[in-house]
Structure 1
């Protein structure tokens, strides 16, 4: 790591550690803070924004100046199942769209605790089915998501496998939160290294999302059988408390015969891609995401 990267990481870590949790400010204020943080991450103006309504769901196409006309990415934003939006993740999603040379669709799914499981997942399924109905015969559709959005992406895939429904050509999971029981060893091993997440807050957040059995494979999709799944790229930071989720998932995917690529990024934290404007490793990881999706679409 060079001095500049070390300096930037230190500044980001300091900012993340000072950020309040939903417990300290309440869910509404927590959401508002995430929305306000988007001011520092304005997307490239060359990426065209086209609003679209999918039944009751607000969505937005992000279309780079140069894109492959028949390549679509469906992006599900993170936020712990309780926060996040098109606005908060527009810069990150725009960067991914550009790296993929694809039209990318980002959308607002229903959030907990007002809308508990399976309401948010139903919205994710609705958007995917809309893409299949309107573009399935003419376009190659990929999935991508970060954190809880990666969890919803994998839950969608779990449901598609169970129902034997059409699958995307590939998927990318960025720092996935896919075991809501929060039981893996990295929660303890990395608790001093992770500047963003704690096991106790995640466990409480999981209970805002649902009071049902957390081992349900549509809630904790790490518990699914992945036989027949299409290729998956997993990117995770070395210092995340969630790193074991990614390692275990990669092992399960390989055991099922799936094509899987696991990238563990040295010194990185949860969804470091979000800081791509300032952090070269974020830009590099997004480029690898783009290369992976282009490989299959």
Structure 2
């Protein structure tokens, strides 16, 4: 993996420049709708050859991304990131497609409702409906895996917690990329990584949390901040995070708490990497992370080597 500091004009630097160029175009008066359009335009590329089909999943706008020769009876349900305020299938299509292709698994990605127009638990309700939709299509829980980045990782955890608390069968596994698990932002990395992280600072994180929860919302509600949940009974988790992230400890603390609760959890911390670095295929470590996540998903969805072959 790369060292703590990247060389000038490294792939990580170029990724940071792409993100910063979008942020620089915004002011206090920029409407949220414009921010969302800008984000989709900046990151809405799609180069991986998977079939894309728009669908309605339990009333939620969604898209199937299906690689060639994907086996039947298995699916990944993907939740995009964006702080519950931005992001969409469009902005994350390339990342989702690369994960689907590497996993050789059909993937359903959803456009859940966003804040501040739709506050908690609207996004969670949409995630729940999408999971129910997969069951209605005839899939079994052990043929479904969840995946998500940042706020989407939060949703993946929250859906599993809600399923467990209702006594329903859980999916086979979940992949969490830089999951945002603590809306109270209590981790030490919010201070220790403040200079290393060029994008996400604690003040910004807390503002996004307030957008999502509302003025009276509780940032320690376990279904809004899964770090505060009792985690026993969850399926195997793979957590990936960059060591430059202010939200790094959202992953580190979650992994420790999950392990203490008896959950099978693997934590991969990538040195020198930024928040959801997997979105940038030009970064070599993004390929490493996607390959590791795909191997994890194939193993838990029982996709055999011959099924996973190109």
Structure 1 residue runs of 4 or more that deviate by more than 4 Å after TM superposition: 2-6
Report the number of matched residues.
294
Report how far residue 58 of structure 1 moved.
1.1
Structure-to-structure mapping, 1:92-131, within 5 angstroms: 92-131=95-134
**8 Å CA contact 2:74, 2:139 repeated in 1:** no
Assess, with a 3 A threshold, how the Cα gap between structure 1 residues 5 and 102 changes in structure 2: closer, same or farther.
farther
| Equivalent of residue 35 in structure 1, options 26, 32, 40 | 40
- Give the structure-1-normalised TM-score: 0.94
The answer to whether 1:234 aligns with 2:239 is yes
Q: Is the 8 A contact 1:110 1:123 kept in 2?
A: yes
Aligned to 1:12: 15
Instruction: Point out where structure 2 has 5 or more consecutive residues left out of the alignment.
Output: 302-310
Aligned partner of residue 176 in structure 2, secondary structure: strand
Structure 1, unaligned stretches of length 5 or more?
Answer: none
Q: CA deviation at 1:31?
A: 0.8
Give the CA deviation at 1:51: 1.5
Query: Pairwise mapping of residues 240-279 of structure 1 onto structure 2 (< 5 A)?
Result: 240-276=245-281, 278-279=282-283
Correspondence 1:152 to 2:155: yes
- Shift in Å at residue 33 of structure 1? 1.2
CA–CA separation in structure 2 for the residues paired with 1:20 and 1:70: 41
Partner Cα distance (2:256, 2:119) in 1: 30
For 1:43 and 1:5, the matched residues in 2 are separated by 27
Per the alignment, residue 281 of structure 1 pairs with 285
Query: If the length of structure 2 is used for normalisation, what is the TM-score?
Result: 0.90
Shift in Å, 1:23: 6.2
Q: Is the deviation greater in 101-110 or in 129-138?
A: 129-138
| 2-structure distance, mates of 1:77, 1:157 | 16
C-alpha RMSD over aligned residues: 1.9
Describe the SS at the equivalent of 1:20: helix
Q: Distance in 2 between matches of 1:148 and 1:296?
A: 23
